[in-house]
Structure 1
Amino acid sequence: MSSYEQDFYRWTQEQANLLRQGRLSAIDVDHLIEELETLGARERRELTYRLKVLLAHLLKWRYQPKGRSRSWRATIDEQRLSLDDLLDDNPSLRSTLDEQLAKAHRLGRLLAIKETDLDEDIFPGSCPFALADVLAKDRYPGE
């Protein structure tokens, strides 16, 4: 059994040292590829998660105006800032924004339904917001 299965942290340190030493033939290539792909997928999932939370609050903001609060506004602002940071750190994710927006809307819609007393038919099945409006600072639908 390799150190990858026995002690993942130790395996990562070993692989880093092998790379630093230029001992490429000793690298555990298959597991290293797997881990690199996992890291990329994690960033994409983070993008979807942030968009989901943002969209849920934008939906609530638009369709439940009596429930608007500083807390909702702060969550909208926080998610937008976090998305800016994520996209600055991972610019290639920008090319996936339209696809991720559609995925995140489905999840955000479910979250908005869960967090409100509104009938689920109130919330549209497809995203009612343009991507630019979703990401724009100081834009709140219905204001």
Structure 2
Amino acid sequence: MSLAKGKPYFSDPADYEDDVHAWAYEQAQLLRLARFSEVDLPNVIEEIESLGREQRHALKSSYRVLISHLLKWQHQPQRRSRSWLLTIGRERDKIEDREEDNRSLRREAQELVDGVYSKAVREAARETKLPRDAFPALCPYTVEQLRDQEFFPR
């Protein structure tokens, strides 16, 4: 163990299971100081992987909500509302921000859209009370249209 002066940097280190916030701060400090032998490597690895999954999940969620609202917008024009309009804009902003920060996920957008489409249809069907088969089997919007703040289906 190559500890400075043979002593741990934190006298009472935070426990991953008890206080992940304090634990994360301590792990970052240990890495900055190159005190690698003190790093809780298995949990650091798990947390890094978790960050990637979380970003993917959040982007999928935004695409699902966006598609659901565009389907409602298209299939029930008489019920269009300011709330739908705001939700569509907000989700597009979230998508833009996440894809800007996670370029690899931007490249996977079509796969993500394909993966969430059936859930978006289910949500739209429940909210509109239209049958699921009233909606297209495949997403009728391109990824470019989904990202376009000015695009609204007719």
TM-score normalized with structure 2 length:
0.85
Give the letter aligned to residue 137 of structure 1: Q
Deviating beyond 4 angstroms after TM superposition, the runs of 4 or more aligned structure 1 residues are none
Give the letter aligned to residue 100 of structure 2: D
1:54-78: CA deviation from partner (whole Å, max 9, x where unpaired): 0001101111111112221221111
| Percent of aligned pairs sharing the same letter | 39
Structure 2's unaligned 5+ residue stretches are: 1-13
Aligned to 1:97: 109
Structure 1's unaligned 5+ residue stretches are: none
Tell me how far 1:36 sits from its aligned partner: 0.3
User: Secondary structure of 2:16's partner?
Assistant: helix
- After the TM superposition, which residues 101-112 of structure 1 pair with which residues of structure 2 at under 5 Å, given as runs? 101-112=113-124
Q: RMSD across aligned C-alpha pairs, in angstroms?
A: 1.4
Tell me how far 1:50 sits from its aligned partner: 0.3
Aligned to 2:88: 76
RCO greater where, 1 or 2, for CA within 8 Å and sep 6 or more?
Answer: 1
User: Secondary structure of 1:110's partner?
Assistant: helix
- After the TM superposition, which residues 45-84 of structure 1 pair with which residues of structure 2 at under 5 Å, given as runs? 45-84=57-96
- After the TM superposition, which residues 1-143 of structure 1 pair with which residues of structure 2 at under 5 Å, given as runs? 3-142=15-154
Say which structure is richer in helix: 1
The alignment of Structure 1 onto Structure 2 pairs a total of residues equal to 141
1:14-59: CA deviation from partner (whole Å, max 9, x where unpaired): 2112112111122111110110000110000000000000000110
